[in-house]
Each structure stands twice: as C-alpha cells, then as structure tokens.
Structure 1
C-alpha cells in the first residue's frame, strides 16, 4: 500500500498523453545512451572481475557490477523528474553509521538494490526498442512530408520510402498527406508510450522493502495519530474551559449584577456620588458579562454541542456582520471531532472574509458527500487572498490535515474568493 501511494504521489500529476512531444522524445531517446554506458561498464568490470577473481582483485569488481543498478537508478529518477516535472524519491534508506562498509552492508540487504539491478537489465533491452521506435517513426514521417522536395534531387524523379512510392507530383502530395497522418499517429504513440515507460520506471524505482521503508511509514502514521490525539485533547480542554466559564464566572457575574442592582435601589435617594459609583460598577459588570459570553461562544458554542453543526452554522450566519446565505445539507450528525473542526474552519473563514475581503455578501454551504463533508465559503470581495500572508489559511489547512482533509483556495485578484474544504469522516 505504501509503494502504491508513493507511486501515485510521484506520477499522479502526469496524465497519459499530456506530456509535450519534445519531452517524450527526449525521454525515450536519452534512455539508449544511459543503457549503453551501463552495459559497457558492467561488461568491462565483469570480464576483469572474472579474470582476476582467483587473485581476489576481481571480487570488488564483481560486487560493483551487482551494485551498479544503484547509480543507474539515480540517473533514471533524474530523467523521470525531467519528464514528469515531479521529484522521484529514492527508495533507499539513509545509512546508519559511517564508512563504506556500513554503506555496502545496508545497500546489499535492501530489496530496492536488486529491483534497480533488474530494472537496469530490462532497461538496456527496452532502450534499444525506444531508440529505434523514435528515430524510425520520426525519420519516416519527416521524409514523407518532404517527398515533393526529395523528388527534385532524385535522378529519375521518383521517391521510394519503405512501402511508399511517388512517381508524380500528385503522388508526392499524397505522400505529404500520409506523412502528416503518420506524424499525428507518432505523436499519440510516443506520448502514450513514454508515459507507460515512465509508469514502469516509477513503480520499480520507488519500491521499498518491508524494513526501513515500513518503519518510515509507521513513524509517519504515529505522527498523524499523535497529532489527532493532541487535537482531541485540545478540544476537550476547550469544552472544559467553556463549561467552567459558563457555570462559574458567568454565574458569579450575574449575581454581582443583581447585587449592584439592589444597591442602586437602596441608594436611589441617597448620596449622588455613591449612586454614580454603583451605576458605573453595574455598567462595567454588564459589559464584562457580555464580553465573557462572546468569549465562551467563541471557545465552544453551546449550540454546537446541543443541536449540532447545522444549527451552529445557521447561528454563525445570523450573527455575521455581512449578509450570509447559508445552505446546510446534513441528514445526520458527523463525529464530534469533525463537527468541531468544520465549525471552527467556518468561523475562521468568516473572520477572514469580514477583515480582508471587502465583500458585500457571503455564501456558506455544507453538504455530505459519501463519507466526507464539503464546506464552501464564497464571497464577492476583492480577492487576492494568500495563504502565506498570515490570514489563518495555513492554520485551517493544518486543522483539516489531522483528519486527512484538504483545503483549496481560489482567490484571483478582483474576486470572487472560494474556499473549498473537504473533511473525511466516518459514516
């Protein structure tokens, strides 16, 4: 599974037939000299090694032949990067310990080393076919396109190329049409064949054995699970703070306001200075209570806990400064952690719109697709939003990434801006 994901990550950006013809031709043609150089070097080393093996001199030479797939694999990954535009990771694990002996021991025990050697042998045979296919098809296509010109340089005015012949100008023009068709077929064939060859090379040259590669993938999995646990603990602590503020500090402030109200009644006909101080204290207490309620709502709204994500987003839209059109389509509540993440992503997105977009209207939508949630926030503002400008977009991506979700932002200068968030969740 890890090899499959690594292959898709490397090769997923390249669609079959989407590569430029020149790049495809260059990728196929350059494989021939690479394979030829590898074959000559291995043949020389192998002959010298077998001839001197009795004197122990040939053992390192034979070992070099067995490990020769490693440098060829590195060259092929560089060629793949040129062709696909995507860096191809090496399947070899970093060497633990220093010195050439440790390097040789680790490389000899890695399965990737022998996959590269097998690829090198197959590549030598395929590179010859690649070279013949490219040079032959392009030469024939270009020769057919130049048939009228070639007739002028033949003694008898006739042109013969493979199965094609031209004895007159009309037949030469027909050969030009055949050349155009053959060139189009060559384009389709070469781009698709180059893509298939790159697929094969990527799949083989990124294979890892179950040792260091599996350990690396396991460490990544542990980091992802650890980040998810941290986020769960963070959300639980936030809910605890919300409950403490709601049940403790808010209640005491409410009691204080009531006490100050009674003091106002008692001082209604008393000292004016004392009454003014009590009035001021009551006003400040009410302001503090209002700010505390806003803070508690921002920490973890009770609506989200009691009535779910649909009601919380509807309340968010109603309380927004800008006109917000909310469309929420949820037949059932998602998991609690996903609910919280989705809600706070929507809150951050609405905050960004209010502060930075200069928009006059916002559309917020949430829908369920299969086993995931899709949240979209669209505004008609000035656009130009940038994740690197400190508007909180990187924080949104980090929060969503905990669940394996993605964040896509489209914000051309002049608007509109669309934030598209996908969060997987259990059914």
Structure 2
C-alpha cells in the first residue's frame, strides 16, 4: 500500500499550498525545490537603445545599410560573416547570436516617434510584446510579470517609453535601488500575505495523514509521522522565510540624472534585472537605455556632445561611432551579468542558457531618423530554441520573407511579425491586426 498513494501527490499538495516559493535552507525545502524545478522555462529580455545603431554609412545615400552595425556576410543566411565596428562589441557572445536584417518598423518613417511602435503592433494600438509575454509566462511573482527598467530613460521629463499596456504607456523604474526595493521588497510582502491567506490549505494534507495513521501501524505509521513532521517543518519555515534564493545585492544610490554616474547606474540596473530573472521572480524584462533623442552625455564618449547630437553626426565621425559602440557595450555587459547566475528552473545550468535577449532600438539610424533595416540581434541559449548556427553565430537576411513594401525597393518584414514569431516560440500569440505570420528559420519550434 502506498501510504499517500504517491510521493508525488504529497509534493503536489505542498506546491498547491504555495510552498514552492523560495523557502529557507531546510533539507525538505531544498528537496522540494530540486525535485520540482527541472523543466526548462524560457526567459526573454528586451534591451532597447536609443537613436539606432548606425545601420547607414557616415557618408553616402540614406538607407544603404552599409554603416557600423550589420555584419559583412558571404550570403543571406550564413555563419561566415565578420562583425562590424559596433556589433564587434558583442563578439564575446557571437556563438549564440542571430543577426537579422530586412526589418521595418511601421511605415519606416516617423523619426523619434518610433518609440510608440518599436515593441508594439504597426498601428501603435495594442500592448507591447514584453507585456504580452509577461502575462503569458509569469515567474513566481505575478505582480512582476514584466519588469521594466529604465536607466536614464525619461529623466529629463520626456516620457518616450517603449513599453505599453494596451493604449497606456508604462513608466519604467529609473532608479535601480528603487527598482530593487520594489521587486524584492514587494515580493516579501506578497509572500507573507499569501502565507497568511493560504495557511488553511495545509489542513487537508494534515487530515489525510491523520486519517491514514488511524488505519496503519508499525513501519507504515512511522512513515506517516515522518511526513507529518516534514509538513510541520515546512509550515514553520514559511513563517520566517526570506522569499529570495539569491544573495542580497549591494547597490549604491547614485544620482540618476548625473552624467558622472551614468555607467554605475546602468550597471546597477543590469544587476537588479539579472537577479530578478535568476531568482525566478519574473521571466520577462525590458531594459530601456535612455530614450529617443536623449540629452544626458556619455562621458566615455563626449563631455560636450549629447547622445542625440552624436547620433545625428553633428560633432563628427568619432563621437558618432563611439556613442553607438557604448550602447552596444552595455548590452554585452548585461549579458555578462546574466551569465553570472544559475538558472532558477534547471539545477546545474546557467541562466543564459534559457534566456533570449533581444537587442534593438526605436529607429534604425539616428541621422536620417528612419526605421528601415532595423538592427535586431537575438542572443542567448533560449532553451535551445534559437537557430543561431552551429557554434559560430549566424547572419540571416529575411528580406525575402517581406510583407511591407517601401519606396526604397522591395518588401521588408514588418517588426510586428518578429514579435509574433517570438510569442509563438514562447507558446503564445499576439493580438495584432494585419500580417502576424511567423518568420521562418528563427526558432526551431516555429515554422
């Protein structure tokens, strides 16, 4: 006779009671965590930089796509390519990178208005892809379904934010210390509230054990007592649990509007988002670096020319190039931070192995201010779903799958189809009007 019909039933009852949240270091808690957290769960991060990544050359005709971003490739779909001046900043992650070309946002024009469309549908009417994914694949804390970090985004009072809930713009947390407090502090409060509300859920488990113990004796009864003791220990652990499996972060609270501390504030945002993903609190996050036409200087590039003017090439080629390299470098540093964590769902595997990082912008190039040939880089292990080649990375020009015509010639792939494709890879869909057919050849589970 199986004492509780199966050990799995016992564990499932505990999970239903809410005990699968991070507990203490007790043996049973660790056993439960290890026994239940085996299946890979995809995480997705959108890393958005402002004013494009210089897809066009410094001099020459607009829309030429021969600037500093796209790799120099031997064909439209190949692992034989050379990284460019800006994409070279991400060389450390080339092996798990897929560079896409041939994409358009909305009509391809609109300049700095692109923030209204970049992560959304082409009509700019529906929720952005990060919100859609967050609702579909939540982490352990539903209140943080889609984390939104905004290092220096809108600190000048201009709320050009790329994330949307329907037709309502979402405001990011600009201060990384406040972001950390809101994520982990709120988590603690929610867990305590849930524990208080759900304490009674243990009662049926206790009743099952009590009923069975009255019908058995000897070794079987001893097993039931062991189960009951374990249950009571879990209940006790819950009362004093710290709802985080990650070590606390030590963050300095720097002035977020000061160019002097720009690198430090940026790095702190990376740490908080990576910690939230590494703890399993959320599975979806957006990091919006600055905003379109941002004015806070990047001192590593220029103390006198702001990033917007750098993108417009007003101060020459050196700062134009340097500013785009700095933004790409931040994405690399964020990848480094993700790589520090173990995956919260698959013991013994790295967080980056099960994360997809999407690097893009609200426009393609900041000088002509267009949204044609958008820079899109997909990085990370993505739980094995991303078709990034066989060890050397991959360049993939998808213009042949285009659906939206442009006067420069031919058709381009509407950005909303990229979001639709990612959504399908994550097991959901987008509610967008128009063409939302998947782009083939990007993910192994989407055709």
TM-score, structure 2 normalization: 0.22
Whose relative contact order is higher, 1 or 2, with alpha carbons under 8 Å and at least 6 apart? 2
Structure number with larger C-alpha Rg:
1
- TM-score, scaled to structure 1: 0.23
Larger helix fraction of residues: 1
